[in-house]
Amino acid sequence: MLLQLITNQPQVVGTILKNTPTWVWGLLAALTWLGLSQLRDRSASMARVTIMPVAMTAFSVWGTFSAFGGSPQFGAVLLAWFSAAAVVAGIVANTRAPATYDAAEGRFLLQGSWVPLAIILGIFLTKYVVGVELAMQPQLARDSQFTLVVGTLYGFFNGIFAGRAIRLWRLATKQQALTAVPAGA
């Protein structure tokens, strides 16, 4: 696999990077910027906190389809992806949100975090490594162990994003319900 090749022949890294399409580096720069923007405390609307999980889910689904869409393992890959995403989303959704919600303004006050950057770069790196692996060894798309690990990993990352969004939506719903109840009721 790729790690073994790089360990035994480190000069191959230059060849891999040189053969990477230019647009990939533009995408990495944009995703890094997006992740870095999450480091500072900020305020965001409901739409804004929904966009990133939707976009990262689309990126992950695209990665899954592009890597394994033609594979006989595709159904199992989707099941692994969905299962991992559902389990992780359930766990993350039930943790405390590092945010508050101002129902009057309709905005979240979010604490800065490294977590989104780490997840974004994890998804990117996974997609990149999978792309390189499949370019070098196309038969891996038919390898059930490889496809299930990758599908599970994509699902894991998306579960974190989905869980974070769910807990924010719950926070907003709870705050809206509290502000809708008249004082003294």
Residue pLDDT, tens place only, 19-30: 899 999 999 999
Domain residues for 47? 2-180
Residues 119, 88: contact at Cβ < 8 Å?
no
Query: Is 185 within a domain?
Result: no
Q: CB–CB of 57/161 below 8 Å? A: yes
Contact (Cβ atoms closer than 8 angstroms) between residue 85 and residue 159: yes
> pLDDT digits over 103-122, tens only?
888 899 999 999 889 988 98
Predicted pLDDT of residue 61 = 82
Give the mean pLDDT of 17-40.
93
CA–CA separation, 35 and 47 (whole Å): 17
Q: Can you give the pLDDT at residue 57?
A: 81
Report yes or no on 111 lying in a domain: yes
Asked if 51 and 116 count as a contact pair (C-beta separation under 8 A), the reply is no
How many structural domains compose the chain?
1
Q: What pTM, to 2 d.p., does this model score?
A: 0.81
Length of the chain: 185
pLDDT computed for residue 78 by the predictor: 92
